[in-house]
Amino acid sequence: MPAAPTTGTPTSAVPETTSTPQPKPVTTTKSVVGYSVIPFKKKTVTDGDLPKGDKEIRTPGANGSRKLTYEVTYVDGKQTAKKLIRQEVAKQPRSQVTAVGTKVEKAESSGCDPNYSGCVPIASDVDCSGGSGNGPEYVAGPVTVTGSDIYRLDADHDGVGCED
C-alpha cells in the first residue's frame, strides 16, 4: 500500500502550556495613631511648718500622654514596615510634690527644775517652806536631788532636800 501523501507541516505532540500570570502583590499603606505614657516626675520640698519627719503630698502626680502617628505598610494584608511620622504631647504630665517637715518641736517647759524630783519651781532662788529663806519661791519637802543642788536645799548633803 502506498504511503499517504503528507500535506502541510508535520505537527508534534507537544502539549500546549498556558501560564497563568502570578498576581502582583497588593501593597497598601495606612496611617495608624497610638499613644504612649509620659510618667510624672517626683519633687520633694522642705516645709518648716510641718513637724520633722512628716511627709505630705501637696500636689498629686499625674501621667501625661504622647500621640504617635505611624505610616504602616502592608503587603497582601501583612504588615511589612512601620515608620513614625509624627509625635506630639497630647497631655502634659504633672509632677508630684511632696513636702517633708523640718520643724523641731521644743519640749514644753513644765516649770519644774530637772535637778530635783517632784516639782521644784525654776526661779532666781528657791527655799524650803517654813525655813528661814527669803524666796521668792518656796518648796515643800522632802525633794530628792537628782542633779546639782543649785538652790542648796540639801543642807546635810544626803541627797534629800527640805527634810524638816
CB atoms within 10 A of CB 131: 14
Pairing of strands 78-91, 64-75: antiparallel
Q: What is the pLDDT of residues 25-71, one digit of tens each?
A: 999 999 999 999 999 999 999 999 999 889 999 999 999 999 999 99
Specify whether the CB–CB gap between 131 and 140 falls below 8 A.
no
**Continuous segment of H or E residues that includes residue 73:** strand 64-75
- Distance in angstroms (rounded) separating the CA atoms of residues 103 and 54: 9
Q: Are residues 92 and 116 in the same domain?
A: no
15 lies in some domain? no
Proportion of the chain above pLDDT 90, given as a percent: 52
Of 82, 103, 124, the residue at which a domain comes to its end is: 103
Using one digit for the tens of pLDDT, what is the confidence trace for 93-104? 999 999 999 998
Spatial distance between the Cα atoms of 124 and 111, rounded to a whole number of angstroms: 13
Contact 96, 60 (CB under 8 A): yes
User: Residue 8: is its pLDDT beyond 90?
Assistant: no
Would residue 9 count as lying in a domain? no
